[in-house]
Chain A
Amino acid sequence: MSGDSPNYQWHWNVLFSHDAYLLLSTGLKYTLLVAGVSLIFGNVLGLCVALVRISKRAPFSQIAYIYTDFFRTTPALVQLIWIFYVMPILLHISLSPVVSGIVALSLNSGAFLAEIFRAGIQSIGRGQRDASFVLGLSPVQSFRHVVLPQAFRRVLPPTGNVLISLIKDSSLLSVIAVSELTYQSQIFVTSTFRPLELYTALAVLYFLLTYPLSLLTSSLEKRFRIT
């Protein structure tokens, strides 16, 4: 219905009430918790899976490939819903919403990170490995001192992007009632009837969370001399 906006009265003061503070601080806490923990698990999982895929050992390498392919090509939301609603029935366990959310986001980001790490490691050219070999470095020494430091610098930018995605994807957990920022905002809207102010503030909040990260990633790239 056109013509609604000119008559809308913005009441920004709803954001600065004590209730708002309580709801949003809880939301922030859960958002950061979920994104942070998923990032840690995702990184560990991603690195392990990448190494397995590089090793080419059957059947582990194929299993790793199926995992990364599946979790990168299906929507995170669908993965989340499946883990929360379907998996407990199949495995006869029950997971709290927060745990389900962390599991889903970890598996999801882990798959993207596995590809990023695998590509980063394999992009270190044969010449580097040749040089390490003729100098007498063992494969482990070569990986630790030559390949890994270079791969680390190469994967920093895309990994920064995965972290930013995790913060954004944490909003998906609102559909399984995890008290992160989006869910808290939705609740607050139902009690204040101020969707425009609240959702605008929500968007700004996510921006404030992710923008410093992208700045940090850029400064890290410069510090590590990524050409």
Chain B
Amino acid sequence: MAIELLSVSSAYGNRKVLRNVDLQVASGSVLVLIGASGSGKSTMLRCIAGLEKISDGTIAIEGQVIHRGGETRRKKKNDPSNLLRREVGMVFQQFNLFPHLNALANVVLAIEKVRKMSHNEAKVLAESLLLRVGLEGHMESFPDQLSGGQQQRVAIARALAMKPRIMLFDEVTSALDPELVGEVLKVMRQLAADGMTMIIVTHEMGFARDVADRVIFMDEGEIVEDADPNIIFTNPREERTQAFLRRLIDR
């Protein structure tokens, strides 16, 4: 089991953002999370990545618990949770590229400093990753010289550089102009075909239907419905799911 969430809750002060979430994600599968803003989907990704603390429950990766409810964020360097953290890669809606480094340097940084490769080896690996996402001609470009779609692809290459076993995508196309969305989805489709375990939060329903092995609808911090993409989009079981999808189509 690649990821397992057991009774996970997360709170912002008094507000419960995640309520008793149970979830299992099999290796190599693609899970898509849909739901309204504030439903807890991004929070769930951030908790898995370790960016946010959980107040209750446990999150386990490959069978080993890496986050426990109630823990503080500071842990020792060699704590297993820190080592396992590297198995999880994340791509953000706002790209979060390092603006003072060019595309190649963005990808090289973590390879060199975290995976401790030599600079030359890191460069070679970074170049191959940028090639893989279709950015051969732009390795020396800085983020402000790249389009949104190109920046997001650099962000994906950068995350892949850490050789994660799980990739989290938090609304990665929501900040892009429509004509740039396709190039990013193409990279994601390829990743899925290559067997990466992926959890994707997205509003791209067509993409979700194509790529997902499973779709989960979340509302108010809970998993409301969990079904096959072919079923959930055409014949959702739950009332709340139906209401959400109807609102989406009516736009």
Name A's B-contacting residues (CB within 8 A). Answer: 127-128, 130-131, 133-138, 141, 145-146, 149-150, 153, 225, 227
Question: Is B94's CB under 8 angstroms from A134's CB?
Answer: no
Query: Please, could you name 26 A-B residue pairs with CB atoms under 8 Å apart, sorted by A?
Result: A127-B92, A127-B96, A128-B98, A130-B51, A131-B96, A131-B155, A133-B51, A134-B89, A134-B90, A134-B159, A135-B110, A135-B159, A136-B82, A136-B114, A136-B162, A137-B110, A137-B113, A138-B77, A141-B114, A145-B109, A145-B113, A146-B98, A149-B100, A150-B99, A153-B100, A225-B100
A57 CB to closest chain B CB (Å) equals: 14
The CA-CA distance from A138 to B110 in the complex, in Å, is 10
Question: Is A134's CB under 8 angstroms from B113's CB?
Answer: no
B78 CB to closest chain A CB (Å) equals: 12
Is B142 an interface position by the 8 A CB rule? Answer: yes
Name B's A-contacting residues (CB within 8 A). Answer: 49-51, 77, 82, 85-86, 88-90, 92, 94, 96-100, 109-110, 113-114, 142, 144, 155, 158-159, 162
Q: Indicate the member of A127, A128, A130, A149 with the most B CB atoms within 10 Å.
A: A130
B111 to A, closest residue via Cβ: A135
Nearest 9 CB-CB pairings of A with B: A131-B96, A135-B110, A136-B114, A127-B96, A134-B90, A136-B86, A149-B100, A134-B49, A127-B94
Partner of B158, one of A128, A135, A150: A135
Contacts of B89 in A (CB 8 A): 134
B85 to A, closest residue via Cβ: A136
Contacts of B94 in A (CB 8 A): 127
A90 CB to closest chain B CB (Å) equals: 41
A117 CB to closest chain B CB (Å) equals: 17
Question: Is A135's CB under 8 angstroms from B144's CB?
Answer: no
Contacts of A130 in B (CB 8 A): 51, 90, 92, 96
Contacts of B99 in A (CB 8 A): 150
Known pairs A130-B92, A131-B96, A150-B99 / 11 extra A-B pairs, C-beta < 8 Å: A128-B96, A130-B51, A133-B51, A134-B49, A134-B85, A135-B110, A135-B159, A137-B109, A137-B110, A138-B77, A145-B109
Contacts of A146 in B (CB 8 A): 98, 109
B126 CB to closest chain A CB (Å) equals: 13
The CA-CA distance from A227 to B100 in the complex, in Å, is 11
Contacts of B96 in A (CB 8 A): 127-128, 130-131
**A127-B92, A127-B96, A153-B100 in contact; A133/B50 too (CB < 8 A)?**
yes
The CA-CA distance from A136 to B159 in the complex, in Å, is 10
Question: Is B77's CB under 8 angstroms from A135's CB?
Answer: no
The CA-CA distance from A133 to B144 in the complex, in Å, is 22
Question: Is B51's CB under 8 angstroms from A134's CB?
Answer: yes
Q: Indicate the member of A136, A146, A150 with the most B CB atoms within 10 Å.
A: A136
Contacts of A137 in B (CB 8 A): 109-110, 113-114
Contacts of A225 in B (CB 8 A): 100, 142, 144
The CA-CA distance from A130 to B158 in the complex, in Å, is 14
B164 to A, closest residue via Cβ: A134
**A146-B98, A150-B99, A225-B142 in contact; A134/B88 too (CB < 8 A)?**
yes
Contacts of B109 in A (CB 8 A): 135, 137, 145-146
B110 CB to closest chain A CB (Å) equals: 4
Question: Is A227's CB under 8 angstroms from B113's CB?
Answer: no
Contacts of A149 in B (CB 8 A): 100
Question: Is B114's CB under 8 angstroms from A135's CB?
Answer: yes
The CA-CA distance from A149 to B101 in the complex, in Å, is 10
B83 to A, closest residue via Cβ: A136
Question: Is A131's CB under 8 angstroms from B92's CB?
Answer: yes
